[in-house]
């Protein structure tokens, strides 16, 4: 069988039609997701139930035939596996026990012990490996250390990552120790996902954009570089997608500096600019605004075509610039796919 389209794009091949998948493609905009989530009880029970997590991963593949499936899990399972308490408040988001003192850090588990908690996730990967269509690529993922640390330090999502920036200013040794533990844990976690059958892994640094100047290099770029180098040493040839969201001009050279095979772009960067400045180094992924999945219509079609056109001279994986939101209309997802594949 011919090699999967996503893997070809990640090797730098320019395809006539870009392969497509969508961040948060398994999610609350789909009625079938809501039904399975209700069956599981709550979000974390769904993540840790391999049969149901595999089921929701497969739902958008059945409905739309995306070129990739992304493992259903969450970036906050790693801090939980390191010993932090984690729960989700409906309508508000995640809550964690905070880490702002050395004594709280000292109570965390070593990175080598995360697998006990995370083994159901590896089981989900194994099920998906068996059940996915032959042409569909399976993507594993983790949060990047900085982004995960912002939740661990604040105990919740924050608009400006203030508590993490404050700890960085007040107790840099502790801040760096947290990042170090997360870096080691991420290597362990992704390595086991790859052993279980993930064919690509993606590193989500959703809050990379709030790191400026030297901080960006030390806390977004350097950990990504280390994680990627270690994964490629353990699993030669494993492709990695890095997503330093809202990195702006720091997207330039990020793939080369970190060893990533592909950089995922958010929708704050213009596709023409990204083609000239980022795609010159290799594959890019992105970057339609997820709001089009709510509003649809002519604007969706026009912008989808513009993105496909702008990236048509280099390797490209079509995606949104960030996750699809629960208020999205499933019909608009179909319209986006039809437009990319030339049917609309």
By annotation, the residues acting in catalysis are 24, 28, 37, 74, 151
Question: Residue 45 and residue 188: Cα distance in Å, rounded?
Answer: 22
Question: Residue 43 and residue 47: Cα distance in Å, rounded?
Answer: 6
Largest CA distance in the chain: 58
Q: Which is nearer to ligand CP3, 37 or 181 (CB)?
A: 37
Question: Residue 182 and residue 173: Cα distance in Å, rounded?
Answer: 14
Question: Residue 285 and residue 261: Cα distance in Å, rounded?
Answer: 10
Determine the 3-state secondary structure of 87 from DSSP: strand
* Backbone angles phi and psi of 89, in degrees to 5: -95, 120
Find, among 277, 281, 333, 332, the residue nearest to 310 by Cα. Answer: 277
Q: How many Cβ atoms are within 10 Å of 298's Cβ, its own excluded? A: 8
Q: Which residue is nearest to ligand CP3 (CB)?
A: 206
Determine the 3-state secondary structure of 214 from DSSP: helix
Shortest distance (Å) from residue 116 CB to ligand CP3: 21
Find, among 294, 334, 292, 329, the residue nearest to 30 by Cα. Answer: 329
Binding site for ligand CP3 (CB under 6 A): 23-28, 37, 43, 70, 72, 74-76, 93-94, 141, 143, 157, 204, 206, 323
Cβ atoms 139, 71 nearer than 8 A: yes
Angle at CA 149, nearest 5°, toward 227 and 146?
45
Shortest distance (Å) from residue 27 CB to ligand CP3: 4
Shortest distance (Å) from residue 242 CB to ligand CP3: 13
For the chain, what is the radius of gyration of the CA atoms?
19
Q: Which is nearer to ligand CP3, 138 or 310 (CB)?
A: 138
Shortest distance (Å) from residue 170 CB to ligand CP3: 24
Shortest distance (Å) from residue 145 CB to ligand CP3: 13
Q: Across the strands, what pairs with 94?
A: 88
Q: Which is nearer to ligand CP3, 22 or 275 (CB)?
A: 22
Shortest distance (Å) from residue 281 CB to ligand CP3: 23
Q: Across the strands, what pairs with 200?
A: 139
Q: Which is nearer to ligand CP3, 168 or 245 (CB)?
A: 245
CA distances from 306 to 67, 248, 266, 288, 311 (A): 21, 20, 15, 10, 9
Q: Which is nearer to ligand CP3, 93 or 342 (CB)?
A: 93
Q: Across the strands, what pairs with 32?
A: none
């Amino acid at each position: 069988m011919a090699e999967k389209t996503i893997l070809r794009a990640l090797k730098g091949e320019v395809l006539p039609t870009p392969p497509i998948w969508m961040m948060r493609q398994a999610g609350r905009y789909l009625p079938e997701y809501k039904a399975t989530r209700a069956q599981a009880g709550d979000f974390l029970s769904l993540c840790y139930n391999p049969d149901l997590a595999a089921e929701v991963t497969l739902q958008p593949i059945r409905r739309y035939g995306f070129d990739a499936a992304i493992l259903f899990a969450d970036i906050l399972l790693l801090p939980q596996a390191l010993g932090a308490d984690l729960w989700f408040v409906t309508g508000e988001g995640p809550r964690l026990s905070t880490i702002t003192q050395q004594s709280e850090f000292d109570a965390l588990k070593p990175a080598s012990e995360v697998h006990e908690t995370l083994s159901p996730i590896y089981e989900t990967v194994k099920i998906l490996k068996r059940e996915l269509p032959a042409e569909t690529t399976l993507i594993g993922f983790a949060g990047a250390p900085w982004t995960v640390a912002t939740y661990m330090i604040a105990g919740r999502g924050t608009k400006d990552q203030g508590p993490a920036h404050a700890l960085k200013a007040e107790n840099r040794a502790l801040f760096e120790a947290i990042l170090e533990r997360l870096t080691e844990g991420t290597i362990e976690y992704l390595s086991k996902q790859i052993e279980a059958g993930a064919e690509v892994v993606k590193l989500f640094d959703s809050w990379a954009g709030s790191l400026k100047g030297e901080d960006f290099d030390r806390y977004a770029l350097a950990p990504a570089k280390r994680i990627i180098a270690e994964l490629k040493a353990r699993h030669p040839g494993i492709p990695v997608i890095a997503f330093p969201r809202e990195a702006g001009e720091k997207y330039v050279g990020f793939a080369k500096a970190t060893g990533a095979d592909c950089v995922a772009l958010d929708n704050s960067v213009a596709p023409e600019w990204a083609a000239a400045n980022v795609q010159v180094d290799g594959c890019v992924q992105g970057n339609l605004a997820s709001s089009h999945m709510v509003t649809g219509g002519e604007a969706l079609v026009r912008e989808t075509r513009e993105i496909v056109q702008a990236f048509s001279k280099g390797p490209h994986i079509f995606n949104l610039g960030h996750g699809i939101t629960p208020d999205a209309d499933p019909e608009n997802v179909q319209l986006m796919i039809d437009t990319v594949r030339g049917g609309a």
